[in-house]
A and B are shown apart, each in its own frame.
Chain A
Amino acid sequence: MNPHLPSSLRYTRSHEWVRMEDQIATIGITDHAQRELTDVVFVELPPAGRTLKAGDSCAVVESVKTASDIYTPLSGEVIECNPALAGSPGLVNSDPYGQGWFFKLRPSDPGELDRLLSAEAYSQSIGS
């Protein structure tokens, strides 16, 4: 298994990942994305309770160099944001699939998950 692309996750072309556990989706950005961004210095997350539609711009990740929009891969209600990112935004760089997660969402349309990319398909989309 490629540690930079866990096969248990689903991916988007815009470099987000989704982990489904007990009908809750955890969302973050990929290792490839954090490398491209350079050191993350600030993350702005959607408040818990907000309802999102797949593809909505819902968060902003700021690196030393630039600000980038993050798009939710799935529709649903935000139930929790990662509180650790406020004090330690560098977790996005050091542990993008673990402690660097962005937010958790209760999906409203489980069918959307099937339209996301597998690790293999995402890997091809970034040419790695």
Chain B
Amino acid sequence: MSVATGKRTPLYSRHTEMGARCIEFGGWLMPLQYSGILAEHHAVRNAAGLFDVSHMGQFRVAGPGAADALDRLLTNDIRRLAVGQGQYTLMCNPDGGVLDDLIVYRMAETEYRLVVNASRTAADWAWMEARISTPSASTSVDLSDLGPAWGILALQGPLALSILAQFIARHGPSTASPALLSSLRRFHLMALPMGGGTAWVARTGYTGEDGVEMLVPAGHLLEVWDRLLETGRPQGLLPVGLGARDTLRLEACLPLYGHELTEQITPLEAGLDRFVCLDKPAFVGREALIAQKSRGAPRRCVAFRLAHSGPPPRPQYAIFSQTDPPCPIGEVASGTQSPTLGAGIGMGYVPPEFAAPETPIHIDIRGRLTSAIVTPKPLYRRPIPPPAKPLKP
């Protein structure tokens, strides 16, 4: 058997003790699954799941020039961020191709934290260092890699917040009340003092469910992991690996770098227009993106599902038109059997004339043209909880 190699998070030994099967991902040795991809997927949809995503990179950008420097490198409008707030954003090359997609949090007045893809951490660092740590900027902006000192746990699912509230009530500091947690808005952060350090809880995720991502000092990761699992197990909380993380995010139509996003794909082609602020005076990629917007993106990222049961679509399978004769029109970026929908699903790139929902297309599944239908994103949307009862009738 080949021995997988890669960097290990502080939880690696715990994962193997828990029976996880680990694989190499983005230079890291990460759990693919614990109990099984399907069981873990359903746990997140119906109860909750806990993920170690400490392979993701974390950078700190601070100083009086931090906002200006980041505003020139990122596509979204960083000026809109209040302290304690984050936003999804992209970093592009001058051609408008995506270098990475990430979340930037405003931690303090002039301090930001970036959470980037594991597979892009080194490239992002080189790109940013070359543009931020210039002699003229270095006095006002400080860029540092928090990687080894910090980890991330994601707690996701309909029961995620109530499990976290119980965890805080049992183990947390008296200053962090569970009530604060329930008022935490999407993409906002709250501090959670622990021991000598501070963890940060953000109302974000990559599963299509409610939940949080917790930025935790490396020294506290194991303790938080163990206690969250112990708290949530009776309610159905399971540890979840990268296998279910992929099926969950694909049902929710969230892009994965290396599949829906590459240096050759623009955010406009990917359908991420609302995270690109073309009104900003200057950012890397702006001119190319303005030009592409005016003439129209040549291809669009669509979601689709197979019309009938059968083998699921996979990355790189060809997409054909349902014309006579069928013509090749694009390629599948991600595909799998959806555990929630019980159907083959995927995302892929096609010309705009094939991108409208309900457009019939074909996927070439190992030589067989299989009927599929372009479907509105997301393929899965979580049920909206019933409105809270008013206090008085």
Contact = CB atoms under 8 A, between A and B. Distances in A.
Interface residues of B, number: 19
B117 interface: no
B243 A65 contact: yes
B311 A67 contact: yes
B204 interface: no
A60 B37 contact: no
Contact of B311 (A39, A60, A127): A60
Interface string A116-128: 0000000000110
Contact of B38 (A39, A42, A44): A39
A35 B21 contact: yes
A127 B3 CA distance: 11
B312 A38 contact: no
Residue from A60, A64, A93 with most neighbouring chain B CB atoms (10 Å): A64
B1 A126 contact: yes
Residue from A44, A65, A126 with most neighbouring chain B CB atoms (10 Å): A65
B35 to A, nearest CB: 10
A35 to B, nearest CB: 7
B37 A64 contact: yes
Interface in B32-65: 32-33, 36-38, 41
Interface in A64-89: 64-67
A92 interface: no
A127 B1 contact: yes
A35 B1 CA distance: 14
B1 A62 contact: no
B33 A38 contact: yes
Contacts of A63: 37
Contacts of B311: 42, 44, 60, 62, 67
Interface in A100-117: none
A80 B1 CA distance: 33
Interface in B312-357: 312, 314, 336-337, 339
Contacts of B89: none
Contacts of B247: 64
Indicate the size class of the contact surface on chain A.
Answer: 10 to 19
Nearest to A65: B243
B366 interface: yes
A65 B312 contact: no
B148 interface: no
Given A38-B33, A38-B37, A67 B314 contact: yes
Contacts of A44: 311
A38 B314 contact: no
Task: Kindly list the 10 A-B residue pairs having the minimum CB-CB distance in the complex, ordered from nearest.
Answer: A41-B337, A39-B38, A127-B1, A64-B37, A39-B37, A38-B37, A42-B311, A62-B311, A39-B36, A65-B243
22 contacts: A35-B21, A38-B33, A38-B243, A39-B37, A41-B312, A42-B311, A42-B312, A44-B311, A60-B366, A62-B311, A64-B37, A64-B243, A64-B247, A64-B336, A64-B337, A65-B243, A65-B246, A66-B314, A67-B311, A67-B314, A90-B38, A127-B1
Interface of B: 1, 21, 32-33, 36-38, 41, 243, 246-247, 310-312, 314, 336-337, 339, 366
Given A64-B41, A65-B32, A65-B37, 10 more contacts: A38-B32, A39-B36, A39-B37, A39-B38, A60-B311, A60-B366, A64-B38, A65-B246, A66-B314, A126-B1
Interface of A: 35, 38-39, 41-42, 44, 60, 62-67, 90, 93, 126-127
